[in-house]
Amino acid sequence: MRELRWWCGPASGAWDWTWQPYVGVWLFLLAIIGAYILLVRRLGRPEPAERRARRRAVGWFATGIILLWGALDWPLGPLGAGYLASLHMVQFLLVGVAAPAFLLLGLPPETFRRIERAPRFMKLLDDLTQPIAAFFIFNVVMTVTHWPSVVDTLMATAAGSFVVDITWLLTGLVFWWPLCSPVPARPRFGPMLQVVYLALNAILIRPPFAFLLFSRYPVYATYELAAPIPGTDALGDQQLAAGIMKIGTAWIMAVAAAVVIYQYHRRKGFAQST
C-alpha cells in the first residue's frame, strides 16, 4: 500500500493498479453524510403521508454519494487527475452533472419549507438559480475548468484538483436547483421551458469540445506528459474525452428532459381523472 494522500493529484509514476487511500475524499464524503443525517434528525419524524417521500429522498441522496465516491476515490480519481483526459471527463460528468441532481433530490421536502423561512438565503438562491443565470454559470465554469492553461495549472497539485472538483459540484448544484427544487417558486419556468433549458445544454457546442476534438496535438500537458498507460495515446485519449463530454452531457440532459415530460403528463392525467 502506498503512503496516505488527502486528495487525487498529479501522476507520481507509472500506473500499476496499486490501491491508494485518499483520506481527504473519505472525510469530505463523511462530512456530507454527517450533515445530511443531522438535517434529517432535526426535521424529526415525517408525517405518515410524507414517509414514502422521505425514504425516496434518502435513496436519491445515497445515489449521489455513491457517484461522488466513485468519481473521486481510487481508481477513477487518480486516473482522471493525472493520467487520462477521458477519465477526467468522466469525473466531470459524475461530479458536476449527475451527482448534484441526486443530492438535491435527496433533500427531504420539509427542507424547502425551512429554507423559505431564511429570507437572506432565499435572496441568494433566487439570484444564483434563476434559470438564465444558472445556465450561464454552468457553461462558463464548464468552459473555464476545461481550458488547457487552467487544467494544467490546477491539476499540478492535489489542492488544485480539489478546487476543480468542488467547483464542479457547486456549479452542478446551481444548474440543477431550478429543476429539482420548488424553492424559490418559479411559476413561469414550467415543464416546457425546463425541457428547453435541458435541450440547450445538450446541443450546445462548447469551446472545450471543439479544441479537444479537432486539435492536431494534445492540448493538456498534464496528460501528454503523464506516464503512458498501455493501449492509450494522448491525442486519441483527448478525442475520446471530447466525445464523452458531448455525448455524456447530451444523454444526461435527454434523460432529465424525458423525466420532466413524463412527470408533466402524469400530473396532467391525474388532474383530469380527479
Q: Does the residue 9 lie in any domain?
A: no
The residue among 138, 140, 142, 141 whose CA lies nearest residue 130 is: 138
Q: Does the residue 30 lie in any domain?
A: yes
Domain of residue 183 covers: 23-273
Supply the mean pLDDT for the chain. 93
Residue 251 pLDDT exceeds 80: yes
What is the number of structural domains in the chain?
Answer: 1
Q: What is the C-alpha separation between 231 and 35, in angstroms, rounded? A: 42
Q: Does the residue 197 lie in any domain?
A: yes
Average pLDDT over residues 260-264: 93
Q: What is the pLDDT of residues 42-96, one digit of tens each?
A: 988 887 777 888 899 999 999 999 999 999 999 999 999 999 999 999 999 999 9
Q: Does the residue 140 lie in any domain?
A: yes
- In this structure, what C-alpha cell is assigned to residue 121? 438565503
Q: What is the C-alpha separation between 68 and 91, in angstroms, rounded? A: 9
The residue among 131, 134, 117, 109 whose CA lies nearest residue 54 is: 109
Q: Does the residue 5 lie in any domain?
A: no
Q: What is the C-alpha separation between 271 and 52, in angstroms, rounded? A: 21
Q: Does the residue 14 lie in any domain?
A: no
The residue among 39, 35, 174, 172 whose CA lies nearest residue 113 is: 39
- In this structure, what C-alpha cell is assigned to residue 96? 458536476
| Alpha carbon of residue 24 to chain centroid | 18
pLDDT value for 89: 98
Q: Please tell me which residue, 130 or 109, carries the higher pLDDT value.
A: 130
Those residues whose C-beta lies under 8 Å from the C-beta of residue 211, and which sit 6 or more positions away, are: 148, 219
Q: What is the C-alpha separation between 159 and 165, in angstroms, rounded? A: 10
Q: What is the pLDDT of residues 131-164, one digit of tens each?
A: 999 999 999 999 999 999 999 999 999 999 999 9
Query: Is 0.85 topped by the overall pTM?
Result: yes
DSSP one-letter string for 99-122: HHHHHHHTS-HHHHHHHTT-HHHH
pLDDT bracket for residue 213 (50, 70, 90): very high
Q: Does the residue 67 lie in any domain?
A: yes
- In this structure, what C-alpha cell is assigned to residue 144? 473555464
pLDDT bracket for residue 109 (50, 70, 90): confident
Q: Does the residue 2 lie in any domain?
A: no
Q: What is the DSSP letter of 5?
A: B
Residue 3 pLDDT exceeds 70: no
